[in-house]
A and B are shown apart, each in its own frame.
Chain A
């Protein structure tokens, strides 16, 4: 089974600053999907950004971007201009298209302070 590692259990950033959350994964597959999900205190799981492994270009969604390093099996999330509403648990996830299920990391709790 593929493993997903988030090495930062907790992080803190000041409003308007930039923060990067780390994620590494282990797989022998060549084609797969990677995701970042956000879970605010409401507990709802919200998709932040998605990356297809066959695409070399890093995905971007407004203030959120990823640094996808396929050879290094690294998939970090950069949040620019952090906002108080970004305070949440962030989960990195891997999906093998043949399987359908997501394998999640243990999460990084991000606190954005004024």
Chain B
């Protein structure tokens, strides 16, 4: 199906382990984003990418790594997971901001628990 998909939808891991959350979109959107959602904080931007091989930090990038070797994929890696990274993670994509309406299309979210 077309759209934006995240995997896994649920993940439980232990402190210190490496975790990778996958994001795949079929629209060929230029922009992709990773947000985390925490109670009382809304959604906060972790990293974003304007195109393949171009990534930039958002508001809360520490402890995360991203890559974008292909336009359709934007994986998020926690190199050494900490309890504070327990959260719901959302991937999103959009066309170039000036080209259309600026709307972001979101995946269904990945709930990560770090024990």
Proximity bits, B90-115, A CB within 8 Å = 1, else 0: 10101011100111101011000000
Q: Which residues of B contact A98 (CB under 8 A)?
A: 97-98
Task: Please determine whether A50 and B101 come into contact, CB atoms closer than 8 angstroms.
Answer: yes
User: At the interface with chain A, which of B18-26, B41-49, B78-86?
Assistant: B41-49
Contact pick for A1, options B59, B96, B104, CB 8 Å: B59
Instruction: Knowing A91-B42, A105-B42, say if A45 contacts B97 (CB, 8 Å).
Output: no
Q: Which residues of B contact A91 (CB under 8 A)?
A: 42-43
Q: How many A-B residue pairs have CB under 8 A?
A: 59
Q: Does B33 contact A (CB under 8 A)?
A: yes
Q: Whole-angstrom distance between the alpha carbons of A95 and B43 in the complex? A: 14
Q: Does B31 contact A (CB under 8 A)?
A: yes
Q: Does B65 contact A (CB under 8 A)?
A: no
Q: Which residues of B contact A95 (CB under 8 A)?
A: 97, 102
Q: Which residues of B contact A100 (CB under 8 A)?
A: 31, 33, 48, 50, 94, 96-97, 102
Q: Which residues of A contact B108 (CB under 8 A)?
A: 43-44
Instruction: Knowing A43-B109, A47-B103, A50-B101, say if A101 contacts B45 (CB, 8 Å).
Output: yes
Task: Please determine whether B42 and A102 come into contact, CB atoms closer than 8 angstroms.
Answer: no
Considering only CB atoms, which chain A residue lies closest to B96 in the complex?
A: A100
Q: Which residues of A contact B94 (CB under 8 A)?
A: 100
Proximity bits, A78-93, B CB within 8 Å = 1, else 0: 0000000000000100
Could you pull out 12 A-B pairs where Cβ atoms are within 8 angstroms? A1-B59, A6-B42, A33-B97, A33-B101, A45-B106, A97-B98, A100-B31, A101-B58, A102-B33, A102-B45, A106-B41, A107-B42
Q: Which 5 pairs from chain A and chain B are nearest by CB?
A: A45-B106, A106-B42, A33-B102, A104-B43, A97-B97
